Amino acid sequence: MTIYNTIVVGSGPAGIGVASLLSQAGNDYIVLEKKQIGNSFIDWPKNMEMITPSFPSNAFGQMDLNSICEGTSPAFSFNKEHLLGDEYAEYLELVANYFQINIQPSTEVIHVKKMPNGWVLETNQGDYFSKYLIWAAGEFQNPQIKNIKGAEHCIHSSYVRYPDRVEGDGFAIIGGYESGIQLAYDLVSNQKNVTLIDPSEIDDTSTSDPSQVLSPHTYKKYKKIQNSPLYNEVTGKVNSVIKKEDGYHLELEDEQIIKTERIPICATGFSLVDEPIKELISYREDGSPKLTEKADEFDGQENMYLTGPSVRHDNHIFCFIYKFRQRFGVIVEDILRKEKVDEEQISLCVEKWKSNGMYLSDLSCCDDECVC
């Protein structure tokens, strides 16, 4: 059994970001990664860009929105505002190498067992034990097609790796948030006919929170295709997909039927990769894990933390890097306090993380809407 004080599972932005703080604080940690650094970004559809823009604003106290570590900026590394998935994975690798983050690739955590004094992680490389566990396995590898009967006849949008190379015509996309609109844009730009179905208005601007409405980057793409003769938008909820001889029938709640010859594409989102820890989690009504507000510990599971896009507190959704990185500091501070690290050292760390946008304990500030 290999033993560490803290084990982080997953080497995406959440895992590497939180590990960089553990490293600064001198914690004995390892990051276990089932494949390679930035695995999810490597698997992104090949022309999919980050929707959050990068800008090398760090020197004036505003970290690049996509930075996960102080003194780094994807915009600076690539001289680009909207990185592709492969490029962002390369940024993560640069950061991991520069800061000598302790990452072990090709190590998949298969099951986590609770012990009186910590956690046993069963992996394909043997068992590991840690006192603290930080779950950073992300969402991308758990695509969801929920509440649609006949979902087995559909394909999830994340599996359309090369949208510019798809053959045939007449595509139906279920879901009109970021991935759905981006895919519709790619297909229409490639002279394909697309019908996009979503229960809500696509150009909703009732809030300034990009976790709930389209980001400006995707909105711009939407505006480019909205009036194209190749693009058809239907407001409605798909209840079921039926495979027939002439193709697929999409039955909507209002009894409308949309026919398509191609496999329907569901851009219906993702949820936490939770299989190895399922029995340890309790869930909120909206399906996201219940966490303590103090330090993002899983409800009832002391010393087991969540970092990444599935973090939710009340109505606050931490699904973007610039949001969830702000909770890295509260997790590591909690571990340092439990380990009785010198208070002065903790304060120095916390002050630094605050100034870098990697420490947010008062969530009341997240309520502010833009006034114009």
Question: Does the protein bind ligand FAD through residue 7 (CB under 6 A)?
Answer: no
- Binding residues for ligand FAD, rule CB under 6 A, total 33
139, 186, 274, 296: residue in contact with ligand FAD (rule CB under 6 A): 139
6, 20, 27, 52: residue in contact with ligand FAD (rule CB under 6 A): 52
| Candidates 4-12, 242-250, 254-262, 293-301; binding stretch for ligand FAD (CB under 6 A) | 4-12
When the beta carbons of 125 and 206 are compared against ligand FAD, the nearer one is: 125
Q: Interface residues for ligand FAD in 170-189 (CB under 6 A)?
A: 179
The Cβ of residue 220 has, within 10 Å, a number of other Cβ atoms equal to: 11
6, 7, 30, 33: residue in contact with ligand FAD (rule CB under 6 A): 33
DSSP 7-33: EEE--SHHHHHHHHHHHHTT--EEEE-
d(CA 305, CA 19): 13
Report which secondary-structure segment, H or E, holds 368. none
DSSP 33-78: -SSSTTHHHHTS-TTPBPSSPP---GGGT---TT--STT--HHHHH
d(CA 198, CA 205): 16
Question: Does the protein bind ligand FAD through residue 34 (CB under 6 A)?
Answer: yes
Task: Select from 79, 109, 104 the least CA-distant residue to 91.
Answer: 79
Q: Interface residues for ligand FAD in 64-123 (CB under 6 A)?
A: 108-109
| Candidates 135-143, 165-173, 253-261, 287-295; binding stretch for ligand FAD (CB under 6 A) | 135-143
Q: Where does residue 103 fall: left (phi above 0), alpha (psi -120 to 50 degrees), or beta otherwise?
A: beta
Q: Interface residues for ligand FAD in 255-314 (CB under 6 A)?
A: 270, 273, 276, 308-309
d(CA 346, CA 26): 11
| Candidates 32-40, 70-78, 335-343, 364-372; binding stretch for ligand FAD (CB under 6 A) | 32-40
Question: Does the protein bind ligand FAD through residue 51 (CB under 6 A)?
Answer: yes
User: Which residues bind to ligand FAD, rule: CB under 6 A?
Assistant: 9-15, 32-35, 39-40, 50-52, 108-109, 136-141, 179, 270, 273, 276, 308-309, 319-321
